Amino acid sequence: MKDLKISARQTGMICVMLIFANAFLTLPSLLHSEVGADGFFVVAGLMFFDLLVLGTFFLLKARFPDDKFYDILKDHLGKILAKIILALFMIFFLFKSLLAYSVVLLFLKQQVYQDQFELIAIISIFPVICHGVFCGIRTISRTIELFFYIVVAGLVVCIGISFTNGGGMPQLFQTQIQSFLSSSFKHAFSFGDYLLLFIIMDKIEIKKGQGRKILSFALVGITLMLLLLIRFYSIYQVTAFMHTNAIVDISSVPAQFTGIGRLDIIAMITVMMMTYFQLELFIYGFCSSFLDIFPKLNNIHAVVLYIITFFVLYYGLLSQYDFFIDSTENYFPYFMIVVNFLVPLTVAIIALTKKKGKEYEKIF
C-alpha cells in the first residue's frame, strides 16, 4: 500500500462507489417489508447522516491536512484508545466486505451461474482484488476513475429503462415515526462507508476549493440511489418486499415482452463492477487499519490475515445466510453507534479544539 496521493476527483468517485455498497439489491425490499415505500425516507435519512460524517472528515482534513488518522487519534486520545478505534474499524470493514460479498454472490447465483459461481469468484476475483490492495489506494482510485462513467452510465440506463415499466406514485407517509426510527436503526450497518476516508485521509490531496468537488460527486451518487428507490417503489407498490434485487428488477420487465433480449444484463454487469471496487476499498481499509495497529508487520501479513478471517467467518456464519443478515439488523446497529457516531463526534471535537500554530486549510 504505497503512500501516493489521490486527487479530490478520485476521492469523489470513491465516495460514489461507497454510497451504493450493500444498498442497491436487497435493502429496498427489506425496508418495504418494514415501512413500505417510506423506506425511501429511511435511506434518505441515513444518507443525510452519512453526509454529516463526510462533513466531519472535511473538518478533520482541513485541520490536519497531512496527518494520518492514527497519529491524530494517538496524539489526542492516547496510543491504546487509538489502537482500539482502529481495531473497531478493522471489524467494520471486514463485515462490510462479508455483507457485500454474500449479498452479491447470492444475486449472481440466482441470475448467472447458479451453484457454480462461488468457486469461480474465489479463484478469479479474490486474487485480483488482493493484488489491487497490494498496489495501494492510488492504483485502486485510478482504476475506479477509468471505469467510473461506465458504472454511472449503467445505473442511469437501468433507471431510464425502469420508466418503460410504468408505475404510479408510491404510497408515502404511511409509517409511524416509531417504525421509521426503528427501521433506520436496524439498517444503519448498510451505511457508514465514508469511514474509509478517515483511514486514507493522509493519502488524499485536497487543494483550496476542491472540497466542493468531492461533495458534488457524493450528491450525484445520492441522487442516483434515491431515484432508483423511488422507481422501485413506484413499479412494485405492493410486491416490493418480494423483489430482492432492486437494480435488476426495475429494468427486467421490458426484456420479457420485447425482442431486444435480456436488458437486465446491463444491471448485472454494473453490479459486478461496483462490487469489485467496493470489496477492494473495504479490504484496503481493513489492511491499512491493521498496519497502523501493527506497524512492524507488512502488507502480506495484513492480506493473509484478512483472507483467513474472511473465509473462517464466511463458512462459519454465511453458511447460515439468514442468521448473518439478521445479525446485521439486530446486533450491528449498536456497533454502529460507536463506530459511525461516537468516533466521528470525537474527531469533530478534536478538529474544533484550538491549538496554537495550527490553522484550517480552506478546502471549500
Domain definitions of the chain by residue range: 6-352
From CA 131, how far away is CA 122, in angstroms rounded?
14
pLDDT for the residue 311: 86
In this predicted model, what pLDDT tens digit does every residue of 309-351 receive, in sequence order? 998 888 776 666 677 777 788 889 999 999 999 999 999 999 9
From CA 216, how far away is CA 208, in angstroms rounded?
15
Classify 276 as helix, strand or coil.
Answer: helix
Interhelix angle 299-317/264-293, nearest 10 degrees: 120
pLDDT for the residue 266: 84
Are the C-beta atoms of 195 and 282 separated by less than 8 Å? no
- Cell numbers standing for residue 359: 490553522
Q: Among 69-83, 166-180, 194-208, name the one with the lowest average pLDDT.
A: 166-180
In this predicted model, what pLDDT tens digit does every residue of 256-273 receive, in sequence order? 445 444 567 888 888 889
Higher-pLDDT residue of 199, 245: 199
| Mean pLDDT for the chain overall | 87
Give the global pTM. 0.92
pLDDT for the residue 308: 92
Are the C-beta atoms of 185 and 332 separated by less than 8 Å? no
Classify 6 as helix, strand or coil.
Answer: strand
How much is the average pLDDT of 215-226?
94
pLDDT for the residue 112: 67
Percentage of residues of the chain with pLDDT beyond 90: 53
In this predicted model, what pLDDT tens digit does every residue of 122-172 receive, in sequence order? 777 888 898 889 989 999 999 999 999 999 999 999 888 888 877 778 888
Specify the CATH number of the domain 6-352: 1.20.1740.10
From CA 169, how far away is CA 235, in angstroms rounded?
9
pLDDT for the residue 262: 59
Specify which residues 6 forms β-bridges with: 204
In this predicted model, what pLDDT tens digit does every residue of 56-68 receive, in sequence order? 999 999 999 889 9
Report the amino acid identity of residue 276. Y
Q: Would you place residue 255 in the very low, low, confident or very high pLDDT band (cuts 50, 70, 90)? A: very low
Q: Would you place residue 1 in the very low, low, confident or very high pLDDT band (cuts 50, 70, 90)? A: very low
pLDDT for the residue 354: 62
pLDDT for the residue 2: 47
338 to 13, 15, 32, 168: CA distances (angstroms): 27, 21, 27, 40
Tell whether the model's pLDDT for residue 23 goes beyond 60: yes
- C-alpha closest to that of 45 among 167, 181, 209, 220: 181
